[in-house]
Amino acid sequence: KQEVTQIPAALSVPEGENLVLNCSFTDSAIYNLQWFRQDPGKGLTSLLLIQSSQREQTSGRLNASLDKSSGRSTLYIAASQPGDSATYLCAVRRTGANSKLTFGKGITLSVRP
Amino acid sequence: DGGITQSPKYLFRKEGQNVTLSCEQNLNHDAMYWYRQDPGQGLRLIYYSQIVNDFQKGDIAEGYSVSREKKESFPLTVTSAQKNPTAFYLCASSGAGTRAYNEQFFGPGTRLTVL
């Protein structure tokens, strides 16, 4: 059974800092990995999707990497801003028919002005 | 605007009542999903549907029912058999064919509270 872990559960950093959010998964037979952002009381916003054949994806100040063999993904946020404060979740989709997303519990990020 | 809408935003249920949560998408996606989110537990899959008139149970389907009569709509009914229904419910969708295995998009959610 796939398990997705995100540690730590919460993180507080000063504005302007570059930071890395970690995601680990137990089964390397994945189809893709997706990073989401969730603001309090809101739905999830898709940030980046990495296919299993890819090593990384970039969007603006965000860069996500994937290392299937070690079961790890990282989300790098450059020059963090208070508006980046939110919960960041990663989710993996395993290979095979009817495959479903398995979510981590998320990392709640607070960027202090 | 293309997207996923959920209604209502807030819903209150009395003990013993069935309630239905609405989810509509205009993204022309074949696959739709219902998740439940509880504090400290992450998202758990309730039901999903990959095509009209077909759906499968997820990890926590007991006490819930769904229908998929139209491509755009995937309503979720929380029945009185669901013992602890207070939670945040999220609907999602993803594209057709092989793209059904790709990016998922989420609606804004419905917060259900049992009185």
Residue B98 has pLDDT above 60, yes or no: no
Share of chain A above pLDDT 70, in %: 96
What is residue A107's predicted lDDT score, i.e. its pLDDT?
Answer: 97
Q: Are A82 and A15 in contact (CB under 8 A)?
A: yes
Mean pLDDT rounded to a whole number for chain B: 91
* A100 with B45: Cβ contact below 8 A: yes
Number of helical (H) and strand (E) elements in chain B, helices listed first: 0, 11
Nearest chain B residue (CA) to A34: B103
Q: What is the mean pLDDT of residues B74-89?
A: 94
Of A34, A42, A106, nearest to B103 by CB-CB distance is A34
Of B40, B42, B108, nearest to A104 by CB-CB distance is B42
Q: What is the mean pLDDT of residues B34-60?
A: 93
What is residue B103's predicted lDDT score, i.e. its pLDDT?
Answer: 85
What is residue A98's predicted lDDT score, i.e. its pLDDT?
Answer: 57
What would the pLDDT profile of A42-89 be if each residue is shown by its tens digit?
Answer: 999 999 999 888 999 999 999 999 999 999 999 999 999 999 999 999
- The whole-angstrom separation of Cα B65 and Cα B16 is 15
Of B45, B101, B105, nearest to A31 by CB-CB distance is B101
CB-facing half-sphere around the CA of A79: CA atoms within 13 A:
2
Strand order in the sheet with B4-7: B4-7, B19-25, B76-78, B64-66
Residue B99 has pLDDT above 70, yes or no: no
Q: Is the dihedral of CA B41, A83, B108, B27 positive or negative?
A: negative
**In chain B, what residues touch A101 (CB-CB under 8 Å)?**
43, 45, 104
